[in-house]
Chains A and B, each alone.
Chain A
Amino acid sequence: MRLALIFLIMAATLARADEVSVAAAADLTYCLPAINAAFEKANPGVKVKTTFGSSGNFFAQIKSGAPFDVFLSADIQYPLALEKAGMAGDAQVYAKGRLALWTMNAGLDVSKGLAMLSGTEVKRVAIANPDHAPYGRAAKAALTHEGLWDAVSPKLVYGENIAQTAQFAQTGNADAGLVALSLVMAPSMAGKGHYFEIPADEYPAIDQAAVVTRAGSGKGLAEAYVAYLKSSEARKILEQFGFQLPK
């Protein structure tokens, strides 16, 4: 009996551990751990649990009640749809994602931008799936804007999320990829391959939006985390990773 009581108290203490669980879009893979470390330092005793994946996947899961407290989507459409379905609070834009052309192949000249993709040395180009991935939509828009869609689309391979897309390019399986700048600018990627930032007017804005989900709505910590994304420390980190900051 006493043993059961001890276990119960232990379990209760563990459950109460100050923890916020975050579902984060894959373009934040390298950037968010830095932000989380800063958040944990500013809030001792707090732990941030992050899961990275595709925004579309998280949307479906959270809509069905997945126990994430915060959702960081690579666009604003998914959070707005969650809000409409009553599964999340107000969507707040905290950064703007940027698209980059990236290749590990030293023989390919990226400084001319997307035009290089129509060359015969480029056999496969990786983009995220334009049907549901925000960076994929941007990639398709940029290629269409430059009149390259018809020439390049037969060469396309589609990543399930932007991180897989980058991985296709990084392993050399795709000759080049249209990926999130935040993945290319990570310190672990420094010096790997060459990249070219696609001009922002060639694709619709990739607004990075954060929401507190219904599961996290009671938690002050979840609100604090979303607010932290707009703090000067977080903004500095976001900028280092190539995100554009809203005023």
Chain B
Amino acid sequence: MILPKEFWEALWVTVRLATATTALLAVIGVPIAQWLARGKGRVHLMAEALLTLPIVLPPTVIGFYLLVMFSPQTAVGGMWTRVMGQPLPFSFAGLVVGSVIYSLPFAIQPFRAGLAGVSRELLDVARISGAGRVGTFWHVTLPTAWSGIAAGMVLSFAHTLGEFGVVLMLGGSIPGRTKVVSIALYDEVQKMDYAAANAYSAALLGVAFILILGVTLLQRRRGE
């Protein structure tokens, strides 16, 4: 069965969401993971627990809290609306916020593992050679930790592709804006269009498998 226009529209929203989420997670996740990897103590412990929380939290909880917190009638919601021009619920930006929280541990854990593998000696050599903090990070830490960081990015991308609960609570199923493939699939089932549901499922399964294959390859290469 040829996939209809609605599927490609939903796929485009999904890919945009996963890309935006992954990019944001890379930017904020790597420094956080670096801080976690280099530190011990109670603050680090609490932070790590909090950042790992989304793994066990039902996604509907994340969606629910965002929906209630950012309703235009609340102080936080009002502020967001003034800055962004529209309320957080039912917006693409809202989905990105939800997805970042949802996929946070899937990015930070692999980042941390990769960064923790950068040996102290290597960093000392770089410092002695005169590289500044930024230079060391960019030319020594990142390349060494690269496969861990790449794995984290691919994982959060793949994880966001499959997101459903958060989007269901927060999205409003708006075609072209917040209707992702998982929601479109759900709608097709309710419409009793099982042929479409099957096609969407197979396509998503294929994409997910290819991505996970990539992660597996990356992790194997790091082990060698």
Contacts and interface: CB of A to CB of B under 8 A. Distances in A.
Interface of A: 54, 56-57, 59-60, 81, 123-124, 126, 129, 131-133, 156-160, 168, 171-174
Contacts of A131: 187, 190-191
B102 interface: no
B171 to A, nearest CB: 8
21 contacts: A56-B191, A57-B189, A59-B190, A59-B192, A60-B192, A124-B87, A124-B90, A129-B190, A131-B187, A132-B187, A132-B190, A133-B190, A156-B174, A157-B173, A160-B173, A168-B172, A171-B68, A171-B71, A172-B73, A173-B89, A174-B172
B192 A81 contact: yes
Given A157-B172, A160-B173, A171-B73, 8 more contacts: A56-B190, A57-B189, A60-B192, A132-B187, A157-B174, A158-B173, A159-B173, A173-B67
A127 to B, nearest CB: 10
A59 B189 CA distance: 10
A217 to B, nearest CB: 22
B72 interface: yes
Q: Which of A59, A156, A159, A171 has the most CB of B within 10 A?
A: A171
Contacts of A81: 192
B184 to A, nearest CB: 10
Contacts of A124: 87, 90, 172
B168 A158 contact: no
Interface of B: 67-68, 71-73, 86-87, 89-90, 168, 172-174, 186-187, 189-192
Given A126-B172, A157-B174, A173 B72 contact: yes
A54 B190 contact: yes
A173 B90 contact: yes
A189 B174 CA distance: 27
B105 to A, nearest CB: 27
Contacts of B86: 123
A156 to B, nearest CB: 7
A106 B67 CA distance: 21
Contacts of A129: 173, 187, 190
A91 to B, nearest CB: 16
A4 to B, nearest CB: 37
Given A131-B187, A171-B68, A173-B71, A160 B192 contact: no
Nearest to A170: B71
Q: Top 4 closest A-B pairs, CB basis?
A: A157-B172, A56-B190, A132-B190, A158-B173
B72 A160 contact: no
A213 B191 CA distance: 20
B174 A158 contact: yes
